[in-house]
Structure 1
Amino acid sequence: MSVVELPAVDDVARAATRVLDSIKSDPEFSAFRAASLEYSEDWQCFTGFPIVAQWNLEVDAEPLFEEGLRALALKAAVYEATNDDQAAEIAIAVPVDEMTHAMLAQAQLLTRIAARVGAHIIHQTDQEHTDYRIGGYTHDCYRAAWGEPPARYWLDHNEVTRRRGVLAGLYQMIGLGRSGREHSIDFAAVAA
């Protein structure tokens, strides 16, 4: 397997802003945005959104939607320059990646929008990188495109790891093992 050289930061930034502007100008963007934000009933990940300090779905959903769009635009820009799915799976912060999942769940809308704007939306769970680093390639591309990313959502990988440890301890205290991946609650035995 050959290693693809990542494109220049400024080239990615220019392409990403173009992709983002095109997506936002698409006639189905409002429907896509509404559908992505309505996905809230299924936003139950124990280690994605909850690592945001004082997380509040109603307050954080819209700004995080913007960050998810920017992440997808950055990935599309890298793909455009490399034609390589794996190279395009640049490091994304965990809460932002979680939001992209809500967006990707709107498959038919996003597929039509991407086709019209000529963008390739890249995301494959077994290829993704959620080891975003402040000062890394993704951070540099983001800054070149839109300025400093909001630290509330673009958390450095080391801080994500620390916060996940805090959450795991708290979850364990209420009987949720492996950060919500298992529990021993017998619902039949618990009074309503």
Structure 2
Amino acid sequence: MSHIELPAANVVADASKVILDGIKGDSQFPAFRAASLEYSDDWQCFTGFPVVANWHLETDAAPLFEEGLRALALKAAVYALTHDDQTAEIPIAVPVDELTHAMLAQAQLLTRIADARGISIIHQTDQEHTDYRAGGYTHDCYRLAWGEPPARYWLDHEEVVRRRGVLAGLYQSIGMGRSGREHALDFAEPVAV
């Protein structure tokens, strides 16, 4: 873990707003948004999006896309202010982080937008922190930039852990072990539900 001091939340908030406006103002942003949302056929996650209560892809995709953009802007702002990628991996809520993966899958578009705007998109799975908590640093930065984050998507870490436990029990009841990471289905017979 990096030992570089985190920048003041208000400074990160101001920088994040500029970064987000720049991303959205890029001529390739509409294509990037469409490609990220079109990625929906591959959004097969058992422990990220499903922790959102009453999750529905078509209803939740657009607002969650906005939250993913804001998360990337916050991390890019911390990086711009510290020049340290480990420090920039600030805590992000699990569903929001999951959506950033759909964005990162649009590598060429996102890279062109970032390069044109002179920003660095920060994400490395082995360094990411999905232990977001209301009242923490990320929450403070977000709130100062855009107001209160939507609690539907910005779930506290402990609540995510609880909901993952509920999901794991349900998955286990249909033969899916380790929250979808394994199963004993041989597909020879239809599974009775």
Normalising by structure 2, what TM-score?
Answer: 0.97
Deviation at 1:173, TM superposition (A): 0.6
Match of 1:172 in 2: 172
User: SS at 2:149's partner residue?
Assistant: coil
The reply on whether 1:7 has 2:7 as its aligned counterpart is yes
Q: Distance in 2 between matches of 1:43 and 1:37?
A: 10
Match of 2:146 in 1: 146
Q: Kindly indicate whether the alpha-carbon contact (under 8 Å) linking 2:2 and 2:86 is maintained by their aligned counterparts in 1.
A: no
Q: C-alpha deviations, 1:53-78, integer Å up to 9, x for none?
A: 00000000000000000000000000
Q: Distance in 2 between matches of 1:152 and 1:105?
A: 24
The reply on whether 1:156 has 2:135 as its aligned counterpart is no
Q: Distance in 2 between matches of 1:190 and 1:71?
A: 41
Match of 2:125 in 1: 125
Matches within 5 A, 1:83-98: 83-98=83-98
The reply on whether 1:41 has 2:53 as its aligned counterpart is no
Deviation at 1:147, TM superposition (A): 0.3
- Aligned letter for 1:188? A
Q: Distance in 1 between matches of 2:42 and 2:106?
A: 13
Q: Kindly indicate whether the alpha-carbon contact (under 8 Å) linking 2:76 and 2:120 is maintained by their aligned counterparts in 1.
A: yes
User: SS at 1:132's partner residue?
Assistant: coil
Q: C-alpha deviations, 1:15-64, integer Å up to 9, x for none?
A: 00000000000000000000000000110110000000000000000000
Percent identity of paired positions between Structure 1 and Structure 2: 77
User: SS at 1:3's partner residue?
Assistant: coil
Q: Distance in 2 between matches of 1:100 and 1:2?
A: 22
Q: Distance in 1 between matches of 2:2 and 2:123?
A: 20
Deviation at 1:118, TM superposition (A): 1.0
Distance 1:8 1:58, change over 3 A: same
Distance 1:31 1:2, change over 3 A: closer
User: SS at 2:188's partner residue?
Assistant: helix
Deviation at 1:2, TM superposition (A): 5.6
- Aligned letter for 1:26? D
The reply on whether 1:114 has 2:119 as its aligned counterpart is no
Q: Distance in 1 between matches of 2:151 and 2:28?
A: 30
Deviation at 1:187, TM superposition (A): 1.1
Q: Kindly indicate whether the alpha-carbon contact (under 8 Å) linking 2:2 and 2:87 is maintained by their aligned counterparts in 1.
A: no
Match of 1:70 in 2: 70
Q: How many residues align?
A: 191
- Aligned letter for 2:144? A
Deviation at 1:82, TM superposition (A): 0.3
Unaligned runs of 5+ in 1: none
Q: Distance in 1 between matches of 2:52 and 2:119?
A: 29
Q: Distance in 1 between matches of 2:132 and 2:44?
A: 22
Match of 1:32 in 2: 32
Cα RMSD, aligned residues only: 1.0
**Bigger Cα displacement from structure 2, 181-190 vs 105-114:** 181-190
